[in-house]
């Protein structure tokens, strides 16, 4: 299958991808991924191995599109983990009607 990656034409075959990725240890997946021989690889790692180009020279989308066309299963980037929202109310400023001694950290004593 002919595809354009980083502006260069490549003729990729599924058997060639399987052969080139054989024995390659998958890096941790932080973005889009592709499953090759029951192993999940970051698409940028696969793209670098297949094209011998720097990962900055091509997009994950270009590799994902080529891998999908060859019949490989591709997965989107994992959802970003968000910190739980705190249910503790934020500290509030004392109103002008409250005495200064009511403020935390205040060491004034009433006379």
Tell me: the pLDDT tens digits for 33-91?
Answer: 999 999 999 999 999 999 999 999 999 999 999 999 999 999 998 876 666 666 656 55
Give the pLDDT of residue 92. 59
Q: Which residues have a Cβ under 8 Å from the Cβ of 98 and sit 6 or more positions away? A: none
- CA end-to-end distance (rounded Å), the chain: 88
Band the pLDDT of 30: cuts 50, 70, 90.
very high
**What Rg, from alpha-carbon coordinates, does the chain have?**
27
> b or e along 71-83 (b: 16 or more beta carbons within 10 Å of the residue's beta carbon)?
ebebeeeeeeeee
pTM of the predicted model as reported, rounded to 2 decimal places: 0.69
Query: Helices marked H in 5-110 — which ranges?
Result: 14-21, 43-51, 60-69
Give the pLDDT of residue 44. 97
């Amino acid at each position: 299958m002919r595809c354009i990656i980083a502006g260069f034409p490549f003729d990729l075959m599924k058997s060639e991808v399987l052969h080139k990725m054989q024995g390659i240890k998958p890096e941790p997946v932080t973005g889009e991924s592709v499953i090759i021989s029951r192993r999940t690889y970051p698409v940028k790692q696969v793209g670098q191995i297949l094209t011998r180009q720097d990962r900055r020279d091509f997009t994950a989308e270009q590799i994902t599109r080529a891998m999908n066309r060859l019949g490989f299963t591709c997965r989107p980037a994992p959802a970003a983990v968000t910190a739980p929202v705190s249910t503790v109310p934020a500290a509030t400023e004392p109103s002008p009607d409250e005495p200064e001694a009511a403020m935390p950290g205040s060491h004034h004593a009433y006379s």
